[in-house]
Structures are given as C-alpha cells and as structure tokens.
C-alpha cells in the first residue's frame, strides 16, 4: 500500500522535509491503520517542517501532529474498518509518524472516535489548535470563569487556536478582546465575534508589578512579555490559559497577581492530555463548544503535495485561521 507523505530528515545540521512515496510497512508500529482524509498545519508542524524548532524526537519521521480519517485495518477489536477517527497529540508527528500523510498507523489507545457533530474536515479545521483552545476554556470554566467576570483577551487571535478561541468564547456569551499584530485582519476577528480588536501595543499594559484589573481572563498564544503584561491586569479570581509561545518561551512576572488577586495561570497540553478528558473535549467540540464560524476559520485548504509551502507561509505569518490539508491523494 503506497501513499504520499511529508517526511522529515536530518542531514548534518540541516533539517530537510520531502514529499515522498512510502509503504505502510515503513511506518512506526501500531495496531490501527488509518486512511487519512484531512490534517492541518499547526504552528508546531510548521516549526518541524521548516527546521526552525526541535519538535521531532527521532528522524526520519512523517510530520503532522493531528489527523482525521477512517480505519483501514485494526488488530484491536475496539476499532473496525470504516470507523471515523481522530488522533491528535500523543506523540503523533513527534515520536511516531504523523498525520501529514495518506496513511497513518498508530497505537489503538491514541484514537478518539469522530464526534457525531463533526465531519473529518471540520475536525481538522479545529485540529490540535482548536482542541487546545477548547481545553484551555474548559479548564478556565472548571476553575470558575464566567462571562460576568469581565472580558477575555485572546492573543495571537488570527491564528488557528486564537480564531477558535474567539469564536467559542463569543458563542458562550463572553465579551472578547482579540489581540493581533496584524491590524488588517480586524474585520475577520469581528466576524468571529470579537467585540474589540487591538494590537499588543494598543493594550498599553504598563510596567508596574500589579496594574488595574481590566480583564476577566486571558487565552494566550504568545507567551513572553505579552503574557507577563496581561497577568498584571487580570481581575481577582480570573484565569489565564497559556497555550502558545509565538512570542517567546520565557516570561518574567511578579507573584502579585497570584497572591493578591487569586489569579490562576493554567496550562493546556494537547500532547499528553488524559484520554478521558481528550474524548470529553472532542465530544464538546462537536456540540456545545463547536465554534459557529468554522467556515471562516478554515482560511485555506491545500493538497498534501503543497504542505511544505504552507508551512513556510505559517512561519512567515502570511496565513490566517487554519490551513487544512487534504490527505486523500
């Protein structure tokens, strides 16, 4: 069974991604073979394919940290040929051959059934980006976040995770402040439900260890100085979901927001999210957390043969929303 794959090699100090034909027997082991239908370009995928981030734990390896498709064959009785399934995180595209390929083989324990409320295309319009945004919102609400506690800031709002977060929050009654360094996309963010759109500089966050409480909470895709600045402005008992590092992996902050206002800084990891919670989040993405603006969030659909160029586009900040990848070749 031959298929096309985006495979990454290490040649000396250089990371090289190639599109090549493979056979299923060359894939990393697993009990379930999935015929991929759709995947997507996550920021992590773009880092891996372009060689600008150390994402892969082994090489050579197929890229792609998520995939939706149908079971081709399975030695595990839980999964039958034809079942619609999703895999995201769990080491896909990091330790095991990933979803940017026509065929994917994975351990049976990694798989989530495709929810009734989502098509495979919709699932990958969300992808790991949308899943992570939903996981952050879930954790925030479990910790007491409510619309009446003030507006929620979404940074990196024009990306896949940010776009999904804006749409989900607005649909749940939150006032949303979309933050992007690309002001030309204001109309797009307002179409997703943002009440206000600004740039990081436009937030005017100040430098004191604790500033005026302006925001009920934050879903942050940027990290770095922006995350530190936003923490200083979160109102008492607000929550900050940290889900990205586009602006830097480190940040310096005072403990004052935590010990004087009871602010919570919450992480949301798609890679090792417990399976029961993973299934719950995907089911919610097919029901009460399904963003009502998925058509707008799917900014572009590309065939698998164009995925390397799509990854370069993401790294050049030339994309908007999600780039969804058609793996059905």
Domain definitions of the chain by residue range: 2-114+295-326, 128-267
Among all chains, which residue has been given the structure tokens 């064959």?
Answer: 73
Confidence of residue 116 (pLDDT cuts 50, 70, 90): very high
What pLDDT shows up at residue 306? 98
Cα atoms in the 13 Å half-sphere on the side-chain side of 158 = 20
Q: Which CATH class is domain 2-114+295-326?
A: alpha beta
Mean pLDDT rounded to a whole number for the chain = 96
Could you give the CA distance from residue 83 to residue 76 in angstroms, rounded to a whole number? Answer: 13
Question: What is the fold of 128-267?
Answer: Rossmann fold (3.40.50)
Is the pLDDT at 17 greater than 90? The verdict is yes
Confidence of residue 121 (pLDDT cuts 50, 70, 90): very high
Is the pLDDT at 202 greater than 80? The verdict is yes
Could you give the CA distance from residue 231 to residue 220 in angstroms, rounded to a whole number? Answer: 10
What pLDDT shows up at residue 67? 98
What pLDDT shows up at residue 55? 85
What pLDDT shows up at residue 53? 83
Could you give the CA distance from residue 122 to residue 45 in angstroms, rounded to a whole number? Answer: 19
Q: For the CA atoms of the chain, what is the radius of gyration?
A: 20
Structure token pair of residue 121: 């295309």
Is the pLDDT at 329 greater than 80? The verdict is no
- pLDDT mean over 31-35: 98
Q: Are 247 and 176 in contact (CB under 8 A)?
A: no
Host H or E run for residue 311: helix 307-315
pLDDT digits (tens, 9 = 90+) for 168-187: 999 999 999 999 999 999 99
What pLDDT shows up at residue 227? 97
């Amino acid at each position: 069974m031959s298929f096309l794959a985006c495979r990454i090699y290490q040649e000396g100090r250089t990371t090289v991604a190639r599109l090549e034909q493979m056979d299923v027997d060359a894939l990393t082991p697993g009990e379930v073979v999935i015929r991929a239908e759709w995947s997507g370009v996550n920021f992590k995928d773009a880092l891996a394919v372009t060689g600008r981030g150390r994402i892969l734990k082994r090489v050579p390896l197929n890229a792609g940290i998520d995939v939706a498709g149908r079971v081709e064959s399975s030695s595990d009785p839980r999964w039958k040929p034809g079942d619609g399934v999703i895999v995201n995180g769990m080491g896909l595209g990091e330790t095991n051959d990933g979803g940017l390929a026509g065929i994917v083989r994975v351990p049976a324990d990694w798989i989530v059934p495709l929810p009734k409320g989502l098509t495979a295309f919709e699932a990958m319009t969300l992808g790991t980006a949308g899943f992570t945004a939903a996981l952050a919102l879930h954790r925030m609400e479990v910790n007491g976040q409510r619309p009446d506690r003030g507006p929620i800031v979404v940074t990196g709002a024009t990306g896949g995770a940010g776009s999904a977060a804006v749409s989900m929050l607005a649909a749940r009654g939150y006032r949303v402040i979309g933050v992007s360094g690309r002001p030309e996309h204001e109309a797009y963010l307002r179409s997703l439900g943002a009440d206000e759109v600004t740039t990081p500089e436009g937030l005017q966050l100040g430098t004191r260890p604790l500033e005026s409480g302006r925001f009920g909470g934050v879903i942050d895709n940027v990290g770095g100085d922006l995350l530190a600045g936003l923490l200083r402005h979160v109102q008492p008992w607000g929550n900050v979901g940290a889900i990205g590092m586009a602006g830097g992996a480190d940040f310096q902050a005072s403990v004052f927001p935590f010990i004087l206002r009871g602010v919570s800084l919450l992480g949301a990891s798609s890679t090792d999210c417990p399976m029961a919670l993973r299934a719950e989040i995907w089911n919610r993405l097919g029901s009460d957390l399904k963003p009502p603006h998925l058509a707008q969030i799917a900014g572009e659909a590309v065939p698998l043969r164009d995925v390397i160029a799509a990854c370069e586009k993401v790294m050049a900040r030339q994309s908007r929303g999600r780039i969804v990848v058609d793996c059905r070749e």
